[in-house]
């Protein structure tokens, strides 16, 4: 029976061509839309994790209450022992110390007077230790515009647009003016080793990267930092793993009521990223539902149009003694074959386009100049395991549903009238 149906579809292209094209296009768009949204949201979350949040973050309880202000006076202390404890208790994750801070960067003239200055957001990471992986994590070699990466104490990186705004050149001496962990004023000179461009307006407006040892000396933060970032053993954020780490760590410090006691938070608890994660989790279901609905309506109409020209065929089959139920089931079997074939074609096309966009990406950096959220300037798709089969859901369900709706007419029409249409 199946072989007979497939032969019929191959020989009568009017019966299969339009539904096949509609299904293939719908499935292709489903796959492309799923990989696009997953890629854009996933890259945004991954970028936030590498630059700011980690998959999990250890801070003090007091720091958590005013984290948006990045208060260095509420930092963690005794971090060497804490890092050792984290690596021992949670060896599957990578742990790094970070200091986020702010201040003024001053460029003096030949007389030592202020030539230009501007506020900046600073990130201190472990640059001089290759095993930390921080240079690779922040893609410093890729975003380097001029100069080189810091290789000695007292050298820093400045965002390229910020350097142009202040008139800073490579090897210029600049002065950092800020506040220490104990509330005192600090003034320290640094040498600009290179300039960088993230492609993210929020960071390129004014940012500085230095080694964490220089930040500790400048901010009087010996054996201290305001954040310890943890990265699980997967590239992209896994909420279940992060939650497991957080619950285990916080349980061990639950009885410590000191405001400077360490506490762990997840990525989803920072920078309003919880909504993005929930959106990414539900995107597959939303996209599938929308395309199932749209394709069902389109294929229903196609089935009704096709049904008009098949009334003669139906009348002949009834005249030969075939039951209405059998005819109805055979039409559903036809739609199943069309849906499967169209889904395979659509998935192949969708994955091909998704792979191209995953490799090349689309540059939207010019349209995001006023963006305040950390998002990549180049949007890329991301091919996940779900992308290989998600297209079958709307492709097959919509095709079968459309045929079922259109085929109800077989039961509604009287057999005698079908015979009459056969004779006409």
Residue 124 has pLDDT above 90, yes or no: yes
Q: 241 to each of 189, 230, 237, 247, 248, how far by Cα in Å?
A: 42, 11, 9, 10, 11
Q: In the 8-state DSSP scheme, what is residue 389?
A: T
- Overall pTM surpassing 0.85 (yes/no): no
* pLDDT interval class at 190 (50, 70, 90): very high
Strand 362-363 with 378-379, pairing: antiparallel
What pLDDT is stored for residue 381 in this prediction?
Answer: 84
Higher pLDDT, 22 or 126: 126
Higher pLDDT, 75 or 285: 75
What pLDDT is stored for residue 274 in this prediction?
Answer: 80
Instruction: Give the Cα separation of 170 and 147 in Å (integer).
Output: 6
Instruction: Please enumerate in sequence order all residues whose Cβ is within 8 A of that of 368, keeping only pairs 6 or more positions apart, or say none.
Output: 200, 201, 375, 377
Q: Is the Cβ–Cβ distance between 200 and 213 less than 8 Å? A: no
* pLDDT interval class at 180 (50, 70, 90): very high
pLDDT digits (tens, 9 = 90+) for 315-372: 666 666 667 677 777 777 877 888 888 888 889 999 999 999 888 877 665 555 555 4
pLDDT digits (tens, 9 = 90+) for 365-378: 555 555 545 556 67
């Amino acid at each position: 029976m199946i072989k007979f149906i497939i032969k019929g579809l191959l020989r009568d292209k009017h019966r299969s061509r339009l539904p096949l094209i509609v299904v293939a296009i719908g499935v292709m768009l489903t796959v492309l839309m799923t990989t696009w949204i997953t890629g854009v949201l996933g890259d945004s979350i991954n970028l936030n994790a590498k630059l700011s949040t980690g998959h999990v973050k250890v801070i003090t309880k007091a720091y958590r209450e005013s984290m948006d202000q990045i208060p260095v006076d509420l930092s963690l202390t005794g971090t060497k022992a804490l890092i050792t404890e984290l690596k021992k208790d949670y060896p599957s994750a990578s742990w790094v110390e970070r200091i986020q801070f702010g201040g003024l960067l001053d460029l003096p003239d030949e007389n030592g007077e202020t030539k230009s200055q501007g506020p900046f957001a600073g990130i201190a990471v472990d640059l001089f230790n290759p095993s930390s992986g921080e240079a690779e994590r922040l893609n410093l070699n890729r975003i380097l515009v001029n100069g080189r990466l810091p290789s000695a104490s007292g050298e820093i990186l400045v965002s390229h647009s910020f350097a142009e705004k202040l008139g800073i050149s490579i090897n210029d001496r600049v002065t950092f003016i800020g506040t220490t962990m104990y509330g005192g004023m600090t003034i320290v000179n640094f040498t600009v080793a290179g300039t960088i461009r993230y492609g993210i307006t929020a960071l390129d407006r004014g940012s500085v990267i230095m080694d964490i040892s220089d930040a500790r000396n400048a901010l009087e933060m010996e054996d201290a930092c305001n954040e310890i970032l943890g990265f699980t053993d997967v590239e992209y954020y896994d909420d279940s793993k992060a939650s497991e780490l957080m619950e285990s760590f916080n349980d061990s410090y639950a009885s410590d009521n000191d405001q400077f006691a360490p506490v762990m938070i997840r990525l989803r608890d920072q920078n309003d990223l919880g909504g993005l994660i929930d959106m990414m989790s539900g995107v597959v279901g939303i996209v599938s539902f929308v395309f199932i609905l749209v394709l069902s309506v389109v294929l229903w109409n196609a089935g009704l149009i096709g049904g008009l020209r098949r009334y003669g065929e139906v009348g002949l089959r009834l005249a030969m003694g075939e039951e209405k139920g059998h005819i109805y089931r055979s039409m559903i079997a036809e739609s199943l074959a069309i849906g499967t074939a169209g889904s395979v074609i659509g998935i192949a096309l969708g994955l091909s386009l998704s792979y191209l966009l995953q490799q090349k990406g689309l540059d939207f950096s010019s349209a995001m100049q006023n963006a305040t959220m950390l998002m990549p300037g180049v949007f890329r798709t991301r091919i996940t395991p779900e992308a290989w089969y998600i297209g079958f859901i709307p492709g097959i369900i919509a095709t079968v549903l459309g045929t079922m709706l259109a085929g109800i007419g077989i039961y509604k029409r009287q057999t005698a009238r079908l015979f009459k249409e056969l004779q006409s």
